[in-house]
Amino acid sequence: MSRVSMLEEHINGREVMAYVQGKYSYHSTSKLTRTIKALGLDPEEEDKTWAVVVGGRAGAAWSTGYKMAIVRL
């Protein structure tokens, strides 16, 4: 049986638009917000056609953040 990461488990076969590694934050300078805007998406959109999927920690330290993916719903 192959190992499945937390991120792969949460993606669950959905189309991945981008992978992001960092903190889950919607501040304008965060990697997550910059990636969302680079894809042409609006973080404050009411009817979202996308979601942020959060997996496990990116590193051993708490400050490294998480492995994340932006997926199409």
The whole-angstrom separation of Cα 67 and Cα 22 is 7
Query: pTM for the full model?
Result: 0.86
% residues pLDDT > 90 (the chain): 62
pLDDT at 1: 55
The two structure tokens encoding residue 60: 């051993």
- Predicted local distance difference test score (pLDDT) of residue 40: 95
- Residue that is written with structure tokens 């910059």 in the block: 34
How far is 60 from 73, CA to CA, in rounded Å?
Answer: 31
pLDDT tens string 50-68: 999 999 888 877 778 899 9
Torsion of the alpha carbons at 31, 32, 37 and 42, rounded to the nearest 10? -150
